[in-house]
Amino acid sequence: MRTGKLQFVPEDPLAIPTFELKSDDEVGKHAIHKAANQPLQRLLTADSLQIRQGDTRVLEAVMPFPFPHLPPEQRGRVELLYHDSAALKDNFWGDPVVREVRVYTPPGYQPTERLPILLFLPGYSGTGEQMFNRGMQEVPFSTRADRWIADGTSRFIAVLPDVMTRLGGSQYLDSPAIGNYATWLAKELVPWISARFPATHWGVLGRSSGGFGAIHLALTFPGVFSAVGCLSGDCGFDLCYLGDVPQAMLGFGAAPERFLADFWTAEKTSSHQFSALNLLCMSCAYSPDLRAAPFPARLPVNLATGEVDFSVLESWKRFDPVHRDLSPLSTLKALWIDWGNVDEYLLQFGGRRLVARLKMDGICHEFEEFKGGHRHTSWRYDVAVPKLLAALES
């Protein structure tokens, strides 16, 4: 990293409603921050701003970066493709089987060029399309990628699919109560993209639910992906999901099937209603039960009495990376894991437990516990992506 450049680090100056906490829709502030003898963490290089090398002042000025794009000749392209999935046909909710897939290619890309491909999995309630948003204080994914490459990171291709469902997500599992999203991504989308964009290796990474999904895909389909990035990913289920239950209970005003109809037709939804939707999604992902009609899952709480069913929460643990057989990860070229030290979902505890398991099993990995929480952490891609690409190129 070039010293002497002023760079951006995200801050959390504003309280964010619960329904935004797990979303990739991050309209957060960014602050200029330099601490004595501390390396600057990179989001964007602000070429127009200079500081003296060795300057030990602390600058805490909230400041947007309104023009993040590089010159046209240094910018890649984004193609919009449509994939017709066999794996998603006849899914329980009748969600679309033809899915938008956005593909980023680096500046000057030629169709004969073989490059590593990274599959990016959005967090719960997020989409690939959403990651390309640009706002006054939002940096689109394509600009991040352009800047990584301009800063010396290996050239690569990125794939960002539309993963939305009627429940707001899928946890990237195969579930009879949602659809076969794991199979779609690993067995259909990867070869379909590879036939159009020659690949050297594939990696997969994501934040929050996307981080969990990255590890789940690597465990479920060994050999498909050579590098994995789990950024603040769901793990340690017995702690991270327990706090969602009381928030969700405040959001249910009707039985689940009626709640869903009202949710998607409402002009505005509350943070508690968002928590309720999230709980329904987790239930359909981890404890599907088509016999439990009209809603196809066992819930971890009785919506009438508020009694928690701990046996359901216990059954979810079979998907928890902390409790799974992690041996398929031993063949990866790179495994990156991180979490914030004050994560609102207590994922710092699950992350520490996961790392302890990896160490015990002798599985090579790299991890970081960074200073911060769960939200406004898209900048963590700036740490993870160069590491994964370096490993894929080695």
Written in H, E and C, the secondary structure of 3-37 is CCEEEEEECCCCCCCHHHCCCCCCCCCEEECCCCC
pTM of the model: 0.85
Confidence of residue 49 (pLDDT cuts 50, 70, 90): very low
- Residue-wise over 145-161: b if at least 16 C-beta within 10 A, else e? bbbbbeeebbbbbbbbb
Backbone angles phi, psi at 11, to 5 degrees: -120, 170
% of the chain beyond a pLDDT of 70: 84
- In this predicted structure, what is the pLDDT of residue 43? 36
Does position 50 have pLDDT exceeding 80, yes or no? Answer: no
- In this predicted structure, what is the pLDDT of residue 137? 75
- In this predicted structure, what is the pLDDT of residue 138? 83
Q: How far is CA 312 from CA 171, 241, 268, 288, in A?
A: 17, 12, 31, 10
Q: Where in the chain is the domain with CATH 3.40.50.1820?
A: 77-236+332-393
- As a whole number, mean pLDDT of residues 41-61 equals 34
- In this predicted structure, what is the pLDDT of residue 67? 87
- In this predicted structure, what is the pLDDT of residue 362? 98
Alpha carbons 117 and 107: distance in angstroms, whole number:
15
- In this predicted structure, what is the pLDDT of residue 189? 98
Confidence of residue 6 (pLDDT cuts 50, 70, 90): very low
Q: For residue range 127-184, what is the model confidence (pLDDT) as tens digits? A: 999 999 988 878 999 999 999 999 999 999 999 999 999 999 999 999 999 999 999 9
Confidence of residue 279 (pLDDT cuts 50, 70, 90): very high
Q: For residue range 170-203, what is the model confidence (pLDDT) as tens digits? A: 999 999 999 999 999 999 999 999 999 999 999 9
Name the average pLDDT for the chain. 86
Q: How is domain 77-236+332-393 classified at the architecture level of CATH? A: 3-Layer(aba) Sandwich (3.40)
Q: For residue range 329-382, what is the model confidence (pLDDT) as tens digits? A: 999 999 999 999 999 999 999 999 999 999 999 999 999 999 999 998 999 999
Q: For residue range 69-79, what is the model confidence (pLDDT) as tens digits? A: 999 999 999 99
Confidence of residue 30 (pLDDT cuts 50, 70, 90): very low
